[in-house]
Chains A and B, each alone.
Chain A
Amino acid sequence: MTMINQMRVEARKLLTLRGTYVVAGLTVLVPAIITAVRIGTEDPNVEFPTTASRLELLGGSLPFNALFVGLGALLTAGEWRHGTAVPTFLAEPRRWRVVTAQVAVAGLAGTVVATLTAAAIRVTAHLGLVAWDSPTGFGADQWPTMLGVVLGGVAMTVIGAGLGAVLRNPALTAVAVGAGGLVVEMLFGFFSSGLGEALSLTLAVQRLVVEDGQGPLEIEGLFTLAGWAAATLAVGIRRTATADI
């Protein structure tokens, strides 16, 4: 079977599950709701008076990146959780192709959902500011920030797919990454200002910030996430390829 056909199969699997739409819906709606709550409870004329401060609204928020992870884990971990790995690998014994196709499909799904998430945040922020008669301009930096939300979401989805093949349980995968994210947050403050904003600073290169000659204190950037995605994918493929089912 060609890789395209395998991806078609994996896409059909994803699209025929109600859970996909639930997770995707939450992933799109929750950050938008949080944005609405922030604007609704804090007078934006006071809290977000400048273009730069309003950009914070577009950056997304940490806890709900775990939803992207859950979305990615639905395919890979779901195969093990429900035993469907058996018919899947009977139809395509070259397991690495299956996992690769699943990750690719997860990445595509992540792209769609993350784009909708970024758009939902942007629209919600705009409507909220209009409701307060507050200035609505976000400046030119809104685009890299929103792109950061999209790329970050895709990366988290791919990480979820790779990690799901290792942990073999979608909920456990999302919880594990959420807990890991909190640790990273505490150690490095990586997610403090929202993943989109953090990534918007470093879309081109990975940055290892060395402060006062004390060594790397802060790790951030799309390449870091991409590295994690590649690593989890490699481990996931290896674990899947060698497993007795």
Chain B
Amino acid sequence: MITVTNLTKRYGATVAVDGVSFTLQPGTVTGFLGHNGAGKSTTLRLICGLVRPTAGTAVVDGVAYRDLPRPAATVGTLLDASAVHPGRTGRDHLRVLAGACGVPLARADALLEQVGLAAAARRRVGGYSLGMRQRLGLAGAVLTDPPVLLLDEPATGLDPEGIRWMRGFLREKAAQGCTVLLSSHLLGEVAQTVDRVVVLHGGRLVADDTVDGLLHRVSGDVLVRTTAPDILRRAVTQAGWTARTTAADTLVVSGPASPDEVGVVAGHVGAPVLELRAEAAGLEDAFFALTSSASPTPSTDSADHRNRQEAIR
């Protein structure tokens, strides 16, 4: 388990990470999202002790990374796929890492086979494609079969087959009880892979929720078909939502509101409901909705949503 508490990193006047707190549970894959410069990579490096925090703590199973007895055996990392000497072969690179992590050197050959680099094992990394370097980086991250994985943009440069392999691999690791934190710009890929999402914007945490929770919280649009659209429109407006007519019998209610909540309101005013469903929103929509504001406001729960539910009742 990784626990990040009030983590802050300043570089002079620039605040790269600003009071970020979250917890990653074993057995879950967590997506770590944010625009370029949002503070994701700095946070990952703070967790690993590569960057010293200005304030706050980050611990792995209650222990700071640098104090772990065998840190590389506890936390597998892929922070920068280009962090490989171009003059060294892929095999030698992994063997060096194996030695540093206290793993038998033969493990390097097995992993090269597993990530599909066996044929290129004796070629210099300088001649590898980005995807091949990414696979080599992934092999390095899992060299010790660690219970925690921190991966920064691991899917970048991978072909569809590689992405599919990685998705299955990460889900398998989570099923085995691993804690996985996955930073990525490929939102569609993240949506298919992760259980939870942590979103940073301007160095601050703007969301820490399940994927479903995040989509619901951000979207809040509900499509409702009714034989009494005018009555229902007045009712939902009184409830604090907005409604727009998209057809003679159809309203789209923007909230955040859930279909259940809109259904309750319709029942209260006696508006017959013909169809009621959430408007589909993707993780991409949610991400941009969360990170479009100029000054992010930290939010780690659905407090607004709960308050509104109570008001309806």
Interface residues, chain A, CB within 8 Å of chain B?
1, 5-6, 8-9, 12-13, 16-19, 78, 82-94, 242, 244-245
A82–B66 touching, CB < 8 Å: no
How many residues in B have their beta carbons less than 8 Å from beta carbons of A?
Answer: 31
Known A90-B72, A93-B49, A244-B50: A19·B87 in contact at CB below 8 Å = yes
| CB neighbors of A among B72-96 (8 A) | 72, 75, 77, 79-80, 82-89, 92, 95-96
State the Cβ distance, A77 to closest chain B Cβ, in Å.
12
The answer, among B49, B65, B86, B102, for a CB contact under 8 Å with A82, is B86
Q: Which residue of B lies closest to A22 (CB)?
A: B87
The answer, among A5, A17, A90, for a CB contact under 8 Å with B71, is A90
A18–B87 touching, CB < 8 Å: yes
Chain A residue contacts of B102, Cβ below 8 A:
1, 5
User: In the complex the two chains form, what is the Cα distance from A5 to B96 in whole Å?
Assistant: 11
B85–A86 touching, CB < 8 Å: no
User: In the complex the two chains form, what is the Cα distance from A84 to B125 in whole Å?
Assistant: 13
* Given A17-B85, A244-B52, 18 other A-B residues pairs in contact with their CB atoms under 8 A: A12-B95, A12-B99, A13-B85, A13-B96, A18-B87, A82-B83, A83-B80, A87-B83, A90-B48, A90-B71, A90-B72, A90-B75, A90-B77, A92-B100, A93-B65, A244-B45, A244-B50, A245-B51
Chain A residue contacts of B101, Cβ below 8 A:
91
Interface residues, chain B, CB within 8 Å of chain A?
45, 48-52, 65-66, 71-72, 75, 77, 79-80, 82-89, 92, 95-97, 99-102, 140
B50–A89 touching, CB < 8 Å: yes
A94–B45 touching, CB < 8 Å: no
Listed by A's residue number, 7 A-B pairs whose Cβ atoms lie within 8 Å are A1-B100, A9-B100, A17-B87, A83-B80, A90-B71, A93-B49, A93-B65
State the Cβ distance, A208 to closest chain B Cβ, in Å.
41
Q: Which residue of B lies closest to A79 (CB)?
A: B85
Chain A residue contacts of B83, Cβ below 8 A:
82-87
B51–A244 touching, CB < 8 Å: yes
State the Cβ distance, A219 to closest chain B Cβ, in Å.
37
Known A93-B71, A245-B45, A245-B51: A87·B88 in contact at CB below 8 Å = no
User: In the complex the two chains form, what is the Cα distance from A244 to B43 in whole Å?
Assistant: 12
